[in-house]
Structure 1
Amino acid sequence: MDILIYTLRSVAYAITDPELVLILIILAFILHSQNRKTVTMQKMIIGEGMNSPLELTVSQIVIGIFAGAIGSIILSYLGVAFSENSAIYLIFLISIFFMLWNPKFICFAYSGALLGAISLILDIIAKSYAGTSINIAGNTIDMANINVLNIDITSLMTMVAVLHLVEGILVMVDGSRGALPVFTNRDNKIIGGFALKRYWALPIALFFIVHKTGSVGLTEQVATPNWWPLLKGTSPISLVKDAALGLFAFYGVIGYNSITFTRSKKEKTFVSGTALIIYSIALFLLAQVSVYGIFYKALVLIFAPVAHELMLYYTRYLEVSGKPKYVSSDEGIMVLEVAPSSPAEEMGIRSGDLLIDVNGRKIENEQDILNASKEGSNFISFKLKNAKKEIKDVEYNKLNSNKRLGIVFVPKNIPSESTIVKLEESKFRDILNKMKDNSDNNKDDNNKDDNNSSQE
């Protein structure tokens, strides 16, 4: 129970200490800036923002704090610890730098492997040239002390594994929030999907082994029970007889970035979260083997980024080979997204529904829906088929010319005078400009094919 209390106190310290709070505020500002762009794009595509930038940011911070507490408790009970002169904090700084440079590499699998590899190389050099020294700028440096990082590989990769477990849970719980509708071309058909992008700021409390005369800014020294740690031999605790333990908190960022055309937002985040949890278990087991020597340390450092890349490759393969979920057909028009508090939502129309009839007339293309909503009547009705293949009739009697239906459709046909822009080849604004240009052309000539997406 003492470990639990000490860990929670350290996490609480991270959200109350002025210096650490400043880091949290900076992270919140970065996240809010990204969320503003997300909401702007949602409004351009859907007509409404699904959440406000503040709501998206607050949820990232609050959920991140809870997730950080859970991860810290797991690490504390496992006995993951680092020496007082360890530079383990660099993993968090590297991950934040990666987030700003290339979001793909924000994952701790990359920053942890990089930090661990440098430390392992320096350790090999230190052992190989022990007893020798070099002179740099008039300063004599003992090669035995060249490993300034002093990272315990087993503890490092165990921590990375636990953080991926936490990431998997976060993706399942909160990964679908802030998703953006997107379109692409496959087999001469337009298919709809979602771009998912989410980050969380986590306070992580770690054990440090300090000599009784040393300090690394710890909140307090920790007394541990006889049974601790759970994982024997995963840290240098047993080698340090005259030492004390203390907890110190850092801030890290965990991110999730994916695209799906074959699953709903919730289905995609569940699959991604499950894959991350499986990856975390495999990495955790391999990290425990690394205590047996340099070869196994190198093996786990290679496994972390390579296995992560293979996991991403496999999920991309599933997307490419899978059957598209959001595709219009001869039977009707597919609904990709529904704006919140819109007439469509009030009618009970949901993402994945296939609209078959509008006002008793078969829907040939999305323009039929747009025309029906502008007929001058305040009434509109649909016959639809939902994801369970159930046929339903829905209606709305408070429609007016100034009120949008709030539906993002998946068009049936590829425009004849334009090209569908793939997400990875252009910015969202380029896609939207193309959609707008085609929409303007359609107003001049109704015989032309409709544009890349339809919104009312």
Structure 2
Amino acid sequence: MNPLLEIIHITLLSISRALFNFSFILVIWILYILIKKYKSVNIYNFDNSKTVINALVESILQGIIIGIIGSLIIAVIGLPINLTYYLIFLLPLALILSLINIRYLCFSYAASVMGVLSLIFRGQIIFGITLPNININISGLLALVGILHLMEGILIFFVGADDPIPIIAKKDGKIVLGHLMQKYWPLPIAMLVLSKGGISGSEIVQMPDWWPLLKDIPKDVITYFYGLVPFVGALGYSSITYCEEPKKRSKKTAVRLMIYSILLIILSIYSVGSLFLQIVGTILMAGIHEGMILYEQYIESKKEPIYTIPKKGVRIMGITPEGAASQMGMQIGDIITKINGINVLNTRQFRAILKNSFTFLWIEVLHINGDMETYEFKAYPDGITDLKVRLMPENPRIIYRHESVQKIGLFHIIKNKLRK
């Protein structure tokens, strides 16, 4: 069989074993809780066609597909990691960190902590006590995290802005509309590992002479094997934006994340045999990731929000698919200023105008870029009383604090659940 086809075959077998792993079921259960919590933020009944189960199934399918792609990249270019018992603590460590903050449900933080422990605990004897020898291949760990975040960047680029939930918040004394974006994906992956002995269920495939790309073979190993081992992880994306449209924000985040992942992969290759670069990589793995999040928060604090309560007209915060507004081409953030020549002052007047059941509408709309546009809609013979839009409320009943949505941990969610 062709080596590439053989790799695909072995990769799919390995991932199929990961799907029936208890860890995969545990991750799905945790993601169900997180998605349910995310949906509960939708207090203004933003028209969202996806139920919690639909969103979970979609995330699982996306996670499996990206897991296959990531596994093939790992196997084909050869980014192995030494097989060690301590690797099983990577996922539990990520889950423990998520108790503090949801955004820590990320392998960049867990792997960075694991890398630091590996650098500290090397089997030394201190005061007669033998410390454990964690002995994790940090170069391989950098490569693994780099690949995982490359996959995460791809997911965020294409689906990160799907299903954003509008939230009303107060910023600099103004009531503003923002968008909360949260995505979680279970990740079954076939991890390429280096072993002193044969790996159960593995097959022999003849690879090119340059393979593997990451060459870090322990000196005490004479006979070694590379194999694909099923591994379960989780990817997550969380962001709140007031000063940018959700799609623009998610794509910018995705590009930065992919650059970060490529940097980690390059660093992993050059860090082989270099303790200095391994230490640098371990610090940058979590440091740059956290820096990207803090940078987005800084941008939010400096830029003006784009969705505020207009002095004249009503602002659209949600559009029902296939509704009149959707058919006309209106967008979230648009301000409806006139209906059939009548000035729209507020939401109450907006509804009063539509109660006339006009059979023909011409609606003047102000876009967020400052352009005016007039839309027309025919509703013969019954007329139309509802454009199927959700409007930004002038007097919102609940105003979120940015911190209350962003800085939340899994422990906080579970504690509130137990109280109920």
Q: TM-score range by the shorter chain?
A: 0.7 to 0.9
Q: How many aligned positions are there?
A: 404
User: Within the alignment, does 1:255 sit opposite 2:241 as a pair?
Assistant: no
Structure 1 CA distance for aligned equivalents of residues 388 and 5 of structure 2: 48
> Given that residues 342 and 406 in structure 1 are in contact (C-alpha distance below 8 angstroms), is that contact kept between their aligned partners in structure 2?
yes
Shift of 1:94: 2.2
What TM-score does the superposition give when structure 1 sets the normalisation length? 0.78
User: Within the alignment, does 1:425 sit opposite 2:404 as a pair?
Assistant: yes
Q: Which runs of 5+ in 2 are unaligned?
A: 407-420
Larger Cα-atom Rg? 1
* Partner residue in 1 for 2:157: 172
AA partner of residue 318 (structure 2): E
Aligned match for 1:210, one of 176, 181, 195:
195
* Partner residue in 2 for 1:114: 113
* Partner residue in 2 for 1:291: 272
> Given that residues 338 and 407 in structure 1 are in contact (C-alpha distance below 8 angstroms), is that contact kept between their aligned partners in structure 2?
yes
Structure 1 CA distance for aligned equivalents of residues 151 and 342 of structure 2: 50
Quickly say closer, same or farther: Cα 1:250–1:392, change in 2 above 3 A.
same
Identity of aligned residues (%): 25
Quickly say closer, same or farther: Cα 1:122–1:341, change in 2 above 3 A.
same
Structure 1 CA distance for aligned equivalents of residues 373 and 346 of structure 2: 19
User: Within the alignment, does 1:278 sit opposite 2:259 as a pair?
Assistant: yes
Structure 1 CA distance for aligned equivalents of residues 382 and 98 of structure 2: 45
Quickly say closer, same or farther: Cα 1:301–1:62, change in 2 above 3 A.
same
AA partner of residue 30 (structure 2): I
Quickly say closer, same or farther: Cα 1:164–1:323, change in 2 above 3 A.
same
Give per-residue Cα distances to partners, 1:259-285, cap 9 Å, x unaligned.
Answer: 001111211110110111121122233
Summarize the alignment of residues 415-454 of structure 1 with structure 2, pairs less than 5 Å apart.
Answer: 420-425=399-404
Query: SS of the counterpart of 2:34?
Result: helix
Aligned match for 2:132, one of 142, 146, 153:
146
AA partner of residue 364 (structure 2): K
Shift of 1:327: 2.5
Shift of 1:103: 1.0
Aligned match for 1:327, one of 304, 308, 316:
308
Query: SS of the counterpart of 1:276?
Result: helix
Give per-residue Cα distances to partners, 1:10-52, cap 9 Å, x unaligned.
Answer: 34443356742x443443333334334444543x423532322
Quickly say closer, same or farther: Cα 1:366–1:392, change in 2 above 3 A.
same
User: Within the alignment, does 1:103 sit opposite 2:102 as a pair?
Assistant: yes
AA partner of residue 267 (structure 2): L
Structure 2 CA distance for aligned equivalents of residues 341 and 188 of structure 1: 36
Structure 2 CA distance for aligned equivalents of residues 249 and 396 of structure 1: 57
Quickly say closer, same or farther: Cα 1:99–1:264, change in 2 above 3 A.
same
Quickly say closer, same or farther: Cα 1:270–1:17, change in 2 above 3 A.
closer
> Given that residues 271 and 278 in structure 2 are in contact (C-alpha distance below 8 angstroms), is that contact kept between their aligned partners in structure 1?
yes
Quickly say closer, same or farther: Cα 1:92–1:398, change in 2 above 3 A.
farther
Structure 2 CA distance for aligned equivalents of residues 241 and 63 of structure 1: 40
> Given that residues 18 and 230 in structure 2 are in contact (C-alpha distance below 8 angstroms), is that contact kept between their aligned partners in structure 1?
no
> Given that residues 324 and 377 in structure 2 are in contact (C-alpha distance below 8 angstroms), is that contact kept between their aligned partners in structure 1?
no
Structure 1 CA distance for aligned equivalents of residues 304 and 192 of structure 2: 47
* Partner residue in 1 for 2:84: 85
* Partner residue in 1 for 2:140: 155
Query: SS of the counterpart of 2:238?
Result: strand
* Partner residue in 2 for 1:6: 7
Quickly say closer, same or farther: Cα 1:300–1:45, change in 2 above 3 A.
same
> Given that residues 78 and 231 in structure 1 are in contact (C-alpha distance below 8 angstroms), is that contact kept between their aligned partners in structure 2?
yes
User: Within the alignment, does 1:15 sit opposite 2:1 as a pair?
Assistant: no
> Given that residues 46 and 318 in structure 2 are in contact (C-alpha distance below 8 angstroms), is that contact kept between their aligned partners in structure 1?
no
User: Within the alignment, does 1:236 sit opposite 2:222 as a pair?
Assistant: no
Shift of 1:312: 1.0
Structural RMSD (CA): 3.2
Query: SS of the counterpart of 1:208?
Result: strand
Q: Which runs of 5+ in 1 are unaligned?
A: 135-142, 428-456
* Partner residue in 2 for 1:182: 167
Quickly say closer, same or farther: Cα 1:92–1:401, change in 2 above 3 A.
farther
AA partner of residue 424 (structure 1): E
